[in-house]
Structure 1
Amino acid sequence: MVDSIKILLCEDDRVMANVVKKYLDVRGYEITWCDNGNAGLKAFSKYRFDLCIFDVNMPYKDGYTLAQEIRNRDKYIPILFMSSNTLPKDKIKAFRIGADDYVAKPIDVEELLLRIEVIMKRQNSQPKVAEDNESKKTKIQIGKYLLDFPYQKLTIGEEERKLTTREAELLRFLYIHRNDLIKREFILQEVWGDDDYYKGRSLDVFMSRLRKYLKDDPGIEIINVHGIGFKFLIADEVEQKEGEEEGKGNGE
């Protein structure tokens, strides 16, 4: 049984929607169904969801537009498209918007369930940090450095460095997920928008740049975990966390 995973299903075909909804209901998912894109956006604004499933061709607001508007509000919620549009260009458009998966109609509900399970497993494996508050900060203290995100400036003492947009986005992302193992695919998907081979090579270049930019604080370290991803470590916070855990252990 699935533990209270809430899904927003936007599908204008009532028969298809009923089949999918009943199948997922039986397996413990909580389904909110909308038959058009406008209703879907209103539901997303009102309730909390763990996953979105969108048809592409819907009245009032198509699935692509709906997904883009939701991505502007929430960068991380998984989105799965199901559509009779099966041309490569349709799938590419969906993935560029930020889709996690794309299923062709007619839908095999068993396959759909397995794809949902894979998406949620991947989602739950990502590091969870108090991101909501920290992602809204405009100035972030990173060890001895100060990142002024809107102006893309990194300062330490009297020294100031102008960052590119991508460098600033990557550094803030690493800080939000600091002291955790961050998978390469997760970084590429969230910062670059996809995880293809060439973007992966670009990521390595950017990591090397950030290491150079942060070299004046020996307490900051970017570790490459071969074949998996990276760890962005800030020594003071690691020591503080270990001290707190040791204190809890002594108190038991």
Structure 2
Amino acid sequence: MSSNLLDAASGHADVLVSAALTHAKALPLAGWFDFSWGGDMSAIDLNEWVSGVISQQPVVGFFQWFFIIYFLVLCTIYLLLEMVAISYIKNYMDNRSLNVLPRAYKKYFRPISVLVPAFNEMGSIVQTVQSLLRLNYPEFEIIVINDGSTDDTLGQLRMAFDLQPFAEAYRDRLKTMPVRQVYNSRRYANLRVIDKENGGKSDSLNAGINLARYPLYCCMDADSILLPESLLLLAKPFLEDTNTVAAGGTVRILNDC
């Protein structure tokens, strides 16, 4: 009798399950149930659904590992980029501290002698010197070397900057063509002009070095113009590394080109 009761209970349970479940669909990738009321689902159908879910496990596992590896690689790349960015930011902040030196630590800038050899430059020499006088730098001097010009280069300089002859003593460390006269400006204490016999650009620069008072030399052409911050930029490498022996700049076309 007990066996009959168990069979009846089992059959009753099957009826309840059949009445409660209409259908159960397995979404292949997610494995969710989708229930609705209005039909029957036998135990055989349920077994088939379970088998379908189990058969999808390798696919689900593949996509799970794919996304895990993807996010690990992505996070690693972000971490490396942040490390590189931190290094660049540190270098930027270290260099940025030099930007306040002109205001707070002017004494750390080494004085510069700007040497300007000129040969037949009467059309541009005055404009060049005027631009040099406006340079933003704590301490510098301008030495124009008139290399035996056959035009009125020297006359233009004397008239524009009120030059007067000056008997200046200097050491003839580098051999050059004879120096005729040295001029000082009455209007600008840091401007001098050397008048010498023609010997070429290198000879003129040597004459300028002989008369230079400062340890750093900036050599430029007479038809060029420096930007107001040029000397500050050139002086930076000497502040950052005491072993620096030379620094250069970039030449760009003027004349509104």
**TM-based fold match above 0.5:** no
Instruction: Please tell me whether Structure 1 or Structure 2 has the larger radius of gyration of its CA atoms.
Output: 2
Q: Which one has a larger percent strand, Structure 1 or Structure 2?
A: 1
TM-score (norm: length of structure 2): 0.25
TM-score (norm: length of structure 1): 0.26
